[in-house]
Amino acid sequence: MKKIKFTWPMGIVLALASFMIFILSFVYKATFVHKYDHHLVSEHYYLDELNYQQEIDKLNNASNLKQNVIIEHTNNGLLIKFTDEFKDKEIKGTIYFQRFSNYKLDFQLPIKLINNDILIGKDKLIDGIWNIKIDWTANNKAFLFKEKIMY
């Protein structure tokens, strides 16, 4: 039986081969294993980019209000307070909740106000970081409010 002698060129070849196997295992996991799901924040990101200037204008409109939207944690859930500058019947729009850790938890709600407030029940929100985007119109003017909260 012949013994294999370990030389430094063989060591280099083994080191390169093991490094390549290491990198290829990560490529395999990122591509084929669903546990490491890598999705886009928005499936329509090209359209979102085109509408970005409108979004900036809406954010500026909201920042020019006397009082912007206020989000408070309560025992019943999340209370969103709108400014008193408008009547609650004048405000129409949508509230978007995004969860970057799991896009399947994302949801949106139409704005239905009671005394310029809306309560999001704690049964709809799971503990963690949420991105909230409130897109509304009042008096034929568009507004946008964005905030990242920890619930």
Measured distance CA(55)–CA(60) in Å, rounded? 9
Q: Tell me the CATH number for domain 45-150.
A: 2.60.40.10
The residue with tokens 């206020």 is 70
Sequence-ordered alpha helix ranges (H) in the chain: 8-32, 45-50, 52-63
Task: Give the domain ranges of the chain.
Answer: 45-150
Measured distance CA(74)–CA(64) in Å, rounded? 27
Predicted pLDDT of residue 41 = 62
pLDDT tens, 65-104? Answer: 888 889 998 888 898 988 888 776 788 899 999 988 888 8
Measured distance CA(25)–CA(27) in Å, rounded? 5
- Residues above pLDDT 90, as percent of the chain: 31
Predicted pLDDT of residue 39 = 63
